[in-house]
């Protein structure tokens, strides 16, 4: 593919240099620190084997891709794979203003030139509806949508009904006030510790907010978003992902350290001890004729950081998970999660079903201890998936029922880099197979910035299967590390590989060689913290 550059002969290289140079104004990451990406202008035209390379033609009056292989006039993806990059989590500040605006603008221009289709934007409940129920302020997010629109990129929006620990983005102030009066609106473990980053699924339909339920509040939020952003829908905004729980995912917060729930040394713990969950458990046990089973969760389970063999419940041979009680509890626990997912996805279908948007929800890849018989990390997270039972069929059926795609992270992972007992590749294959059978599409993500080449190789392998089920990928996420000299050259090579941007200038016909390709060597990039 060839990228055309605007203007006259003096702008052959200047456009890309200008976009890259603007990144030196960046303020990615911690708001208390300013990160800078500096470019050595004396080296910016050096040839090398790494980084940003664009064959240029100084003939047109706009920056446009010359070739497109997709049927869509707005897509430059290959074989139906659309590439997106996640914007910083704190793109919009808690005061509803834009953080690191110039850096994001420069980054968006660079992504456009590279051949990325668009970006993903987290939209936080705690920012938009911060001070009062039903009082919405979308100003910061409207500014981002306008910025993306002007640059000709696509935008996918993630509606986040959870809080973020880093950077700190809390739930709405008024929600926290209700939580102070009734702490049981949060998930609770057997020691009484509460997870206050999102609401317990047990209160979905309960009128805990002055006669209004969380489901009603979520739906009103979605309707306000739809009304406010209607001018962008279908043109700039092409998809919406609705938050389903902790970190936006459909799961229980079984590991309170959200950064490690996908790969934790321990098995995590069941989150069924708030008064509302316990009420539902008691009612279910009585209905099943086992009232003594409804007094609480299993008593013979390990704690958060202990391995499966620490207690009897998850043991491979003779563990309580295989007993009638184990089946009773695990069925109830997982069905509560599935019902919650159905309620939230039904909201998304109701509000956005008649729009041109692609509707999605996020499913975690809880791959720790996958090679054991009981799959304990999946069980505590709410997925009744064991060596004897496929726990994802009912989950994925709910997505299909509500015409929703699945956002699935972990496409960058391989078993070779994971500890004993973990198998992200096997779990990914299992979920893919179920999605194929049920006709539910997958949009993939990585779990962290790839600092090694095989992370990108794993992603490309997942995107180029003979029987593809993943036709979209969002790389998470933009920030100072994203533009670092160690990472950014590998990312640009990844984009070229997926979009077939690997045509060397020497392979072009002589008549099309108007300018030398621009090279930005990996060592030119320097990240500094002021």
Catalytic positions, written as ranges? 249, 445
Q: Are 206 and 213 in contact (CB under 8 A)?
A: yes
- Whether cis (ω within 30° of 0) applies to the bond prior to 187 is no
Coil vs helix vs strand at 156: strand
Contact between 81 and 471 under an 8 Å Cβ cutoff? The reply is yes
In 3-state terms, what secondary structure has residue 196? strand
Structure tokens at 388: 């004897």
Task: Give the H or E element holding residue 52.
Answer: strand 52-54
Question: Which region holds residue 146: left if phi is over 0, alpha if psi is between -120 and 50, else beta?
Answer: alpha
Residues 484 and 526 sit within 8 Å (Cβ to Cβ): no
Q: What is the DSSP code (8-state) at residue 155?
A: E
Query: Could you tell me the end-to-end alpha-carbon distance of the chain, in angstroms, rounded to an integer?
Result: 38
Q: Could you tell me whether strands 35-38 and 526-529 are parallel, antiparallel, or unpaired per DSSP bridges?
A: antiparallel
From residue 161, alpha-carbon distances to 93, 103, 247, 334, 496 in Å are 16, 27, 9, 21, 35
Token digits of residue 519? 């090279």
Find the helix packing angle between 275-287 and 324-352, rounded to 10°: 120
| Contact assessment for residue 4 and residue 66, using Cβ atoms and an 8 Å cutoff | yes
CA 528 – CA 30 distance, rounded (Å): 13
The torsion of the CA quartet 68, 457, 114, 407, rounded to 10 degrees, works out to: 80
Cα–Cα distance for residue pair 137/126, rounded to 1 Å = 11
């Amino acid at each position: 593919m060839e990228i055309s550059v605007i203007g006259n002969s003096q702008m052959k290289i200047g456009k890309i240099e200008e976009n890259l140079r603007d990144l030196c104004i960046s303020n990615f990451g911690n708001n208390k620190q300013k990160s800078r990406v500096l470019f050595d202008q004396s080296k910016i035209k050096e040839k090398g084997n790494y980084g940003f390379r664009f064959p240029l033609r100084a003939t047109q009056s706009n920056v446009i891709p010359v070739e497109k292989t997709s049927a869509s006039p707005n897509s430059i993806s290959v074989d139906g794979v659309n590439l997106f990059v996640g914007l910083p989590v704190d793109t919009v500040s808690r005061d509803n203003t834009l953080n690191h605006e110039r850096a994001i603008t420069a980054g968006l221009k660079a992504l456009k030139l590279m051949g990325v289709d668009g970006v993903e934007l987290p939209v936080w409940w705690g920012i938009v509806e911060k001070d009062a129920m039903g009082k919405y302020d979308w100003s910061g997010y409207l500014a981002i949508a306008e910025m993306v629109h002007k640059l000709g990129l696509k935008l996918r929006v993630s509606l986040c009904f959870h809080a973020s620990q880093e950077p700190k983005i809390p739930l709405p102030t008024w929600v926290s006030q209700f939580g102070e009066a009734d702490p049981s609106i949060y998930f609770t473990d057997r020691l009484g510790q509460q997870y206050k980053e999102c609401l317990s699924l047990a209160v979905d339909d309960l009128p805990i907010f002055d006669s209004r339920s969380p489901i009603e509040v979520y739906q009103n939020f979605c309707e306000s978003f739809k009304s406010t952003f209607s001018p962008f829908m279908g043109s700039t905004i092409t998809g919406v992902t609705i938050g389903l729980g902790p970190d936006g995912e459909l799961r229980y917060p079984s590991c309170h350290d959200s950064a490690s729930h996908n790969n934790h040394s321990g098995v995590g713990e069941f989150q069924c001890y708030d008064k509302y969950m316990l009420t539902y458990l008691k009612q279910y046990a009585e209905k099943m004729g086992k009232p003594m089973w409804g007094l609480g969760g299993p008593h013979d389970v390990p704690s958060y950081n202990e391995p499966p063999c620490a207690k009897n419940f998850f043991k491979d041979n003779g563990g309580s998970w295989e007993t009638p009680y184990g089946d009773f509890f695990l069925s109830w626990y997982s069905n509560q999660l599935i019902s919650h997912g159905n309620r939230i996805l039904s909201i998304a279908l109701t509000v956005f079903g008649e729009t041109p948007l692609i509707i999605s929800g996020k499913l975690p890849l809880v791959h720790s201890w996958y090679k054991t018989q009981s799959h304990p990390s999946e069980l505590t997270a709410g997925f009744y998936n064991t060596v004897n039972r496929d726990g994802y069929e009912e989950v994925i059926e709910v997505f299909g029922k509500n015409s929703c795609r699945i956002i699935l992270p972990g496409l960058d992972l391989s078993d070779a880099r994971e500890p004993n007992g973990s198998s992200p590749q096997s779990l990914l294959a299992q979920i893919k197979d179920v999605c194929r059978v049920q006709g539910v599409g997958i949009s993939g993500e990585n779990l962290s910035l790839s600092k090694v080449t095989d992370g990108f190789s794993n992603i490309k392998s997942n995107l180029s299967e003979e029987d593809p089920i993943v036709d979209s990928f969002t790389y998470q996420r933009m920030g100072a590390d994203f533009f670092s000299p160690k990472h950014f050259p590998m990312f640009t090579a990844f984009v070229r590989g997926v979009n077939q941007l690997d045509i060397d200038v020497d392979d072009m016909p002589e008549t099309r060689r108007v300018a030398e390709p621009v090279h930005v060597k990996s060592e030119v990039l320097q990240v500094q913290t002021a």
